[in-house]
Structure 1
Amino acid sequence: MSVLTLRLAGPLQSWGASARFTRRTTESAPTKSGVIGMLAAASGTERGDDAALVRLSALRFGVRIDQPGTRVRDFQTAHHGVTETSMPLSERFYLADAVFVAALEGDGELLASLHAALRAPVYPPFLGRRSCPPARPVELGLHDGISLDQALTDEEWQAAPWYRRQRRSEAMVSLVVLREAGDDEHDADFQRDQPLSFAAEHRRHALRTVVSRTVDVPNPAAVPRHPRHPRHDPFEALEESV
């Protein structure tokens, strides 16, 4: 079993699990369908290739929130390209200055091909929407012989330097991990982001179970705490001599 880890960071991200009419929201962390779609694009998989999507969707998925970012709202207008008529005003939500570590566990050969595809993508990757390019290459590494949990625990904290400095008093930082639940795990939440088809005429997603936990990772920007100096009373010596 192998694990592929990704760094998802950029000025804006948007991982929508639902969109109704002119309102398009974003989840607080990357969705499985969004990350699988990015990998499918990098490897050149066409939208209607459901057989290839089955292999990708079988990978076990998890994400660590290294820097939660800020939710922002934008209003957008558009015009029809042929008739030049105005389209309805749309309301869209994004995550600004967020950083995540995503991980996928599964067949080593498949993950190795995806890792190579991210280094030379057929279609450029984006963070949920085409208007959200990553700030840097997304691949972190390919790990053999470890579990999804271990990869999300061992990976170095990927937050921006300015964000790390804000927490420099903490030698270890607690980060939230959202990952697919195992067969024997309970108290899981449900999220409709298991991709079944990306075909434009019948895009479909199923429910998957997600569990939340926290992991502690070292803070490279931590400042060591100095022990307090012992209290000094200059009159103690005089009192002892009396």
Structure 2
Amino acid sequence: MQLAGPLQSWGASSRFARRTTESAPTKSAVVGLLAAALGRLRSDDISDLSGLLFGVRVDQRGTLLRDFHTAHRFVSGDAMPVSERFYLADAVFVAAVEGEKDLIEQLHQALRRPTFLPYLGRRSCPPTRPIDLGVHHDRTLEEALRQEEWRASRWHQREHRKPHIELEILLEATSTDEPSDTLRDQPISFNPLHRMYALRGVRRTRVQVPNPAGRPHVVRPEHDPTSVLGGA
């Protein structure tokens, strides 16, 4: 899945009037996007989706942006507390899920014809590119993220003139992995009356991918200013 847009926001620990964002998409948000594409309501069971293995590659980190929101109650007109909200501007990510073939195929078709419109963490953050990047039944989740072409914006690719670029990958830790970090973004229920999330281990790794706008490295001969003085 390609997650690209002017603004994205992936909250994992937002509370009250301060709504932060993680530096990469969370599993709970991507599972919510997939559930919406399937047409599921917030009160529906999501155990099959939360059981998917999840990973994300950071193709373009973007810039942290802070915004303030004001609101008034509809009936009384009373002012509500000012909320502070954070977004990622001009970021691009490649996300992937791994699971049983039938469920993956169902999700693939849903992304092509979503029941509810997808958004990048918040409803005010629509995607600007197609989300669907296809299905790879012959690859593991990590292999798919390592082999996918670099999806950063062309202007961002041109800024990095090297023929290859190193990208960070965040993989869901399995029972045999040593997690590098933990996030409370394992969704259990999206029911507005009782949302529930559990801790999830994350393993970080890196990969080098080709840069379509990169310039080949040219080895220049060593300059010797006295070489012209040599006799025949």
TM-score bin (small chain): over 0.9
Please identify the structure whose Cα radius of gyration is greater: 1
1:30 aligns with 2:25: yes
- Matching of residues 156-235 of structure 1 within 5 Å: 156-168=149-161, 170-229=162-221, 231=223, 233-235=227-229
| 2:70 matched residue in structure 1 | 77
Deviation at 1:187, TM superposition (A): 4.2
Runs of 4+ in structure 1 off by over 4 angstroms are none
| 2:106 matched residue in structure 1 | 113
User: Take 1:181 and 1:60, find their aligned partners in 2: how far apart are those partners?
Assistant: 9
Q: TM-score, normalised by structure 2?
A: 0.96
- Determine if contact 2:173/2:179 at 8 Å carries over to the other structure: no
Deviates more, 1:121-130 or 1:223-232: 223-232
Work out which of the residue numbers 132, 135, 141 in structure 2 matches 1:139.
132
User: Take 2:120 and 2:22, find their aligned partners in 1: how far apart are those partners?
Assistant: 12
Query: Tell me, what secondary structure is at the counterpart of 2:204?
Result: strand
Deviation at 1:190, TM superposition (A): 1.2
Deviation at 1:230, TM superposition (A): 5.3
- Determine if contact 2:23/2:61 at 8 Å carries over to the other structure: yes
CA 1:82 to 1:31, structure 2 compared with 1: closer, same or farther past 3 Å?
A: same
Q: Which runs of 5+ in 1 are unaligned?
A: 1-5
1:94 aligns with 2:65: no
Amino acid at match of 2:219: P
Deviation at 1:185, TM superposition (A): 1.4
| 1:9 matched residue in structure 2 | 4
Q: TM-score, normalised by structure 1?
A: 0.92
Amino acid at match of 2:23: S
Amino acid at match of 1:80: R
| 2:147 matched residue in structure 1 | 154
Spell out, residue by residue over 1:119-166, the C-alpha distance to the aligned partner (whole angstroms, 9 max, x if none): 111110000000000011211111112101100100000000010011
User: Take 1:190 and 1:225, find their aligned partners in 2: how far apart are those partners?
Assistant: 39
Number of aligned residues = 230
Give 1 or 2: higher strand fraction.
1
User: Take 2:212 and 2:28, find their aligned partners in 1: how far apart are those partners?
Assistant: 32
| 1:59 matched residue in structure 2 | 52
Deviation at 1:111, TM superposition (A): 1.1
- Determine if contact 2:38/2:110 at 8 Å carries over to the other structure: yes
- Determine if contact 2:179/2:201 at 8 Å carries over to the other structure: no
CA RMSD of aligned residues (A): 1.2
Deviates more, 1:26-35 or 1:220-229: 220-229
User: Take 2:25 and 2:87, find their aligned partners in 1: how far apart are those partners?
Assistant: 11
User: Take 2:167 and 2:59, find their aligned partners in 1: how far apart are those partners?
Assistant: 6
User: Take 1:230 and 1:74, find their aligned partners in 2: how far apart are those partners?
Assistant: 53
Work out which of the residue numbers 16, 20, 42 in structure 1 matches 2:15.
20
User: Take 2:132 and 2:196, find their aligned partners in 1: how far apart are those partners?
Assistant: 27
Q: Which runs of 5+ in 2 are unaligned?
A: none
| 1:43 matched residue in structure 2 | 38
User: Take 1:55 and 1:200, find their aligned partners in 2: how far apart are those partners?
Assistant: 19
Identity, % of aligned pairs? Answer: 55
CA 1:185 to 1:11, structure 2 compared with 1: closer, same or farther past 3 Å?
A: same
Amino acid at match of 2:202: V
